[in-house]
Structure 1
Amino acid sequence: MLALNEVQVILCDQCMPSMSGTDFLDKVKELYPKTFRIVLSGQSDLASIIAAVNCGAVLRYYTKPWDKQLLRDHVRDAFRQFAASHAKAPE
């Protein structure tokens, strides 16, 4: 999907069937470094998420219970930030 579409923001869960969300977003960072990457976690062990944030694979993370309105606002801000950082300079 990422290769076929311009994806600006990726939101994923830490617990996924074949790999962790942080591993997935680390791979995404390598291939598509301009994406804004967010992970959601219900786990109490945050060491892997903190490590992913520190290396830049994850730009923002949320743990349960997250504030739904705050999450919506931050996702909206992520799209705005992506658009602002990729706006073409006037010629």
Structure 2
Amino acid sequence: MVKYYGGGMKISPMAEIDDGFFVLCVIKEIPKIKLLVLFPSVFKGEHKKYNKYVRFYKAKNINIKTKDNLYLNVDGEIYETNKVVTFKIYNKKISLIA
């Protein structure tokens, strides 16, 4: 996984691109005033210290189930999908010739 997203935000500071795991950052419901304090810390990856609101999970497979349809941002494209989404990491490699 990539540590940076959305113009330099360090969403998952402990993510490694080659370790074979997703790092999922989940932010629980948070008061708006706390969000104003927390948000700038995301650029340095320091939001993990707000562990009352921010949790990280590491996994090879992630299943997301929601009550409503959800929107995914996949490589800059927005997709609407049904109420269940599964992400998996496969142990296959792509050979590139440059």
Normalising by the smaller structure, the TM-score range is: under 0.3
Whose helix fraction is larger, Structure 1's or Structure 2's? 1
TM-score, normalised via structure 1 length: 0.28
Greater CA radius of gyration, 1 or 2? 2
TM-score, normalised via structure 2 length: 0.27
Whose strand fraction is larger, Structure 1's or Structure 2's? 2
- Larger RCO (CA under 8 A, 6+ residues apart): 1
